[in-house]
A and B are shown apart, each in its own frame.
Chain A
Amino acid sequence: GQNIDQPTEMTATEGAIVQINCTYQTSGFNGLFWYQQHAGEAPTFLSYNVLDGLEEKGRFSSFLSRSKGYSYLLLKELQMKDSASYLCAVRDRGVISSGSARQLTFGSGTQLTVLP
């Protein structure tokens, strides 16, 4: 099974930097994903880490440490539109069959509010 923890809520100011942490426990790790979800809308893919280190994509970066079971999402130059829930999700190794993807387990999400 898997256990994923992330803070419930965070608040930051427009233009600032915020770091959203995620810790996980899994029996077979095969990748960590971050998704953004605005209220009532579909989650949208932000980033993917499978090896240790930092992945940068514009204003968003994601870091992974597999030995510590830890990841963070870093959002720079915050904008009002970044107010949303940020979901950490772990993919397990599962049963590897040709061409099939493995299921994701999502954390409860971190609700980020960006203030003017």
Chain B
Amino acid sequence: DSGVTQTPKHLITATGQRVTLRCSPRSGDLSVYWYQQSLDQGLQFLIQYYNGEERAKGNILERFSAQQFPDLHSELNLSSLELGDSALYFCASSPHSGGANEQFFGPGTRLTVL
């Protein structure tokens, strides 16, 4: 158990719909990262937040958005869903200073778009 929690574990929805994925980082971690992992794409970095502010953007579509709240939990919003958005979505958190700053991953949310 990494200490990072994600809900829901599974989500099945239809094309065109909107969903929200939730992540709570490890206690004390200020940085939250979102990743998408599909079978043919590997682990793709989407976006990073640090203490409520966006810090880095990767291959995140305009239909996707995220935010980090004052209590440091984060939400990833996916809208106008397409079949190709079906994937595992991971959230990770890391300490804010010192050492390796390795990222600790949550268990993921498996999104299926039908």
Contact = CB atoms under 8 A, between A and B. Distances in A.
Interface of A: 31, 33, 40-45, 48, 50, 87, 94, 97, 99-109
B105 to A, nearest CB: 4
In this complex, the interface size class of chain B, counting residues with CB under 8 Å from chain A, is 20 to 34
Interface stretch (B14-22, B61-69, B74-82, B95-103): B95-103
Given A42-B107, A106-B43, A31 B30 contact: no
Contacts, number: 65
Contacts of A97: 50, 55
A48 B43 contact: no
A103 B31 CA distance: 10
Interface of B: 2, 30-31, 33, 42-45, 48, 50-51, 55-56, 58, 88, 90, 94-97, 100-108, 110
Tell me whether chain A's interface is mostly helix, strand or loop, or mixed. loop
B92 to A, nearest CB: 8
